[in-house]
Amino acid sequence: MTKKEAILKAAQEAFGQLGFTAATVKDVAGRADVSFGLVSHYFGSKQDLFLAAGFDMADRLICSLAEATAESPDGLTSIRQYMSAYFAFTDEQRDRFPILLRCSPFSHMEPGIDAVKVAEKFSAFIDELKRCVSQGIEDGSIRTLPVEETALIIYGNIVGSVRTSLLTPYKSEGIFSETINHVIRSLKNGPDQDGC
């Protein structure tokens, strides 16, 4: 691992744990075991480093999600696989995932960070979900629902459970799989409450 890569990983850790403002460049340098001057040398300002750290994580997750939903029989299964892949990724990256909770339009952008760039990057997550929902409604696996809101609600559901799992002391073993069930139950087309 090059020193540049070490700095990026350390930044993901530090920003994830402490947030943009509270994390310090010296702290990042210390975690990466390099001098703090090298951080500026490679990444410029603290803001630039924050975005680099967040976008690196986002890009890898986007990749992982795209793979997961690539070959699905139907939209509802795509949603299930999207969520499974999302939760699997957070579990694998427990130490450094929180940077994505920070560098996200669903969090308060800390002062000095370019919120527009972040929102653009994250629209990929929502767009992918919208694609799955649309597909599901078309193929009949998902009931008729407003696509935009539903995608946002599902994403909120995912992030809510990730936050519960990574941040709170209310942790619960089965929360990820229960969240998938919760969403699937809500979306699934089928004999309705007023039905039979």
- Where along the sequence are the contacts to a second copy (CB under 8 A)? 17-19, 21-22, 98, 101-102, 105-108, 110-111, 115, 119, 123, 126, 145-146, 148-150, 152-153, 155-161, 163-164, 167-170, 172, 174-175, 178-179, 182-183, 185-186, 188, 190-193, 195-196
> Per-residue b/e over 137-174, b at no fewer than 16 CB within 10 Å?
bebebbeebebeebbebbbebbbebbebbeeeeeeeee
4 vs 163, which CB is nearer to DNA?
4
Q: Residue 178 in contact with residue 160, Cβ under 8 Å?
A: no
Q: Name the one range near DNA by CB under 7 A: 19-27, 80-88, 119-127, 159-167.
A: 19-27
**Residues 27 to 56: which contact DNA by CB under 7 A?**
27, 34-38, 40-42, 44-47
The three-point CA angle 77-119-145 to 5° equals 35
Q: Which residue has 């942790």 as its token pair? A: 171
Min dist. Cβ of residue 132 to a second copy (A): 15
24 vs 67, which CB is nearer to a second copy?
24
Q: Which two tokens stand for residue 37?
A: 């001057």
Separation CA 83–CA 7 (nearest Å): 30
- 138 is in the binding site of which of DNA, a second copy, none (Cβ under 5 to 8 A by kind)? none
Q: Which residue has 């560098």 as its token pair? A: 103
Among 3, 9, 117, 131, binds DNA (CB under 7 A): 3
Q: Residue 114 in contact with residue 45, Cβ under 8 Å?
A: no
Separation CA 122–CA 128 (nearest Å): 10
- 105 is in the binding site of which of a second copy, DNA, none (Cβ under 5 to 8 A by kind)? a second copy
- 195 is in the binding site of which of DNA, a second copy, none (Cβ under 5 to 8 A by kind)? a second copy
